[in-house]
């Protein structure tokens, strides 16, 4: 059905453009977006296509609609609810947790990760760290970055100092430095067991159960910019997410 595919591509493009404009704060919190009619003319699509794009942005919590008035940019302030239901929530980890580098940002050869990052070579950059709340470790994360992305963080001294605590987040650093901001992620959740290094960092016994979270982050053009694998202690962490039924 070529017509359906074209329609899907059109509303996806509108949603992507508006999402990027909001992430770059060209539309600030509380400001009104262009109307369906205005966007339909700008993009040369139907108002139904624009309505579908708005529906996606409402579902993501990026905008809200006021009947009879229009569509407005939702506030990003105070979004850290410890539910990790959005990229903002993950960036917000710096509010009350610290990062302790276990293995500094370094060059590696990893065929599997390079494939997930859609790289032409097998060279990636790897960083491992623990995250602590009130000096209690609850998570160990390994991050892999494309060389071009890692280069953007090369001057961040905290990523090269093992054991020194900081309030930085890799996502927060990338959000400020990437030419195209992070927009979404693919995530899988499984159960695993702590290896020797993870057990030492988390102060638990080897083979202790962990909640394993694997994420691939994409920029606004759907290019992968980071792969991250985290092991969470179930005694110190829970995962919650809200699910919404689509009306389209």
What pLDDT digit, counting tens, does each position of 46-64 carry?
Answer: 999 999 999 888 887 788 8
Kindly state whether residues 67 and 98 are assigned to the same domain. Answer: no
Kindly state whether residues 27 and 131 are assigned to the same domain. Answer: no
Kindly state whether residues 68 and 162 are assigned to the same domain. Answer: no
d(CA 23, CA 88): 10
**Burial of 241 by CB count in 10 Å (0-12 exposed, 13-18 middle, 19+ buried)?**
exposed
Identify the CATH number of the domain in which residue 195 sits.
3.40.1410.10
Q: What is the DSSP letter of 157?
A: G
Mean pLDDT across the stretch 73-102? Answer: 60
Kindly state whether residues 33 and 109 are assigned to the same domain. Answer: no
- What is residue 247's predicted lDDT score, i.e. its pLDDT? 46
Question: What DSSP element (H or E) covers 21?
Answer: helix 2-23
Structure tokens at 240: 């919650």
Is residue 79 in a domain?
A: no
The total number of structural domains in the chain stands at 2
- What is residue 93's predicted lDDT score, i.e. its pLDDT? 57
Question: What DSSP element (H or E) covers 50?
Answer: helix 47-59
- What is residue 76's predicted lDDT score, i.e. its pLDDT? 58
Instruction: Give the domain range for residue 176.
Output: 87-232
Is residue 141 in a domain?
A: yes
Which of 10-14, 124-128, 151-155 has the least mean pLDDT?
Answer: 10-14
Q: Is the pLDDT of residue 4 over 60?
A: no
Is residue 205 in a domain?
A: yes
Mean pLDDT across the stretch 79-90? Answer: 43
Kindly state whether residues 46 and 117 are assigned to the same domain. Answer: no
- What is residue 190's predicted lDDT score, i.e. its pLDDT? 94
Contacts with 169 (C-beta within 8 Å, 6 or more apart), sequence order = 90, 91, 93, 94, 99
Kindly state whether residues 219 and 96 are assigned to the same domain. Answer: yes
Is residue 238 in a domain?
A: no
Is residue 12 in a domain?
A: yes
Structure tokens at 230: 């985290």
Mean pLDDT across the stretch 28-40? Answer: 91
Kindly state whether residues 112 and 54 are assigned to the same domain. Answer: no
Q: Is the pLDDT of residue 176 over 70?
A: yes
Contacts with 28 (C-beta within 8 Å, 6 or more apart), sequence order = 73
Kindly state whether residues 6 and 120 are assigned to the same domain. Answer: no
Kindly state whether residues 117 and 215 are assigned to the same domain. Answer: yes
d(CA 157, CA 160): 5
Question: Given pLDDT bands bounded at 50, 70 and 90, which one contains residue 2?
Answer: very low
**Mean confidence (pLDDT) of the chain:** 84
Question: What DSSP element (H or E) covers 167?
Answer: none
Q: Is the pLDDT of residue 87 over 80?
A: no
Q: What is the pTM of this model?
A: 0.68
Number of Cβ within a 10 Å radius of residue 244: 9
């Amino acid at each position: 059905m070529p017509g359906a595919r074209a329609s899907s591509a059109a509303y996806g493009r509108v949603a992507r453009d508006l999402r990027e404009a909001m992430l770059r704060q060209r539309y600030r919190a509380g400001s009104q977006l262009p109307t369906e009619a205005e966007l339909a003319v700008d993009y040369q699509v139907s108002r139904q296509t624009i309505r579908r794009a708005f529906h996606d942005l409402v579902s993501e919590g990026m905008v809200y609609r006021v009947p009879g008035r229009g569509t407005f940019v939702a506030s990003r302030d105070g979004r850290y609810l410890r539910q990790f239901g959005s990229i903002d929530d993950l960036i917000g980890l710096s509010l009350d947790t610290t990062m302790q580098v276990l293995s500094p940002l370094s060059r590696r050869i990893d065929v599997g990760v390079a494939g997930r990052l859609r790289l032409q070579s097998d060279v990636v950059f790897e960083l491992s760290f623990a995250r602590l709340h009130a000096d209690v470790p609850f998570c160990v994360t390994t991050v892999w970055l494309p060389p071009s992305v890692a280069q953007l963080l090369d001057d961040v001294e905290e990523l090269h100092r093992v054991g020194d605590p900081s309030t930085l987040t890799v996502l927060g650093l990338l959000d400020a430095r990437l030419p195209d901001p992070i927009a979404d992620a693919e995530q899988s959740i499984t159960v695993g067991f702590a290896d020797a290094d993870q057990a030492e960092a988390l102060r638990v016994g080897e083979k202790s159960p962990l909640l394993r979270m694997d994420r691939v982050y994409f920029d606004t053009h759907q290019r992968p910019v980071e792969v991250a694998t985290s092991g969470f202690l179930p005694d110190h962490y829970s995962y919650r997410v809200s699910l919404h039924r689509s009306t389209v």
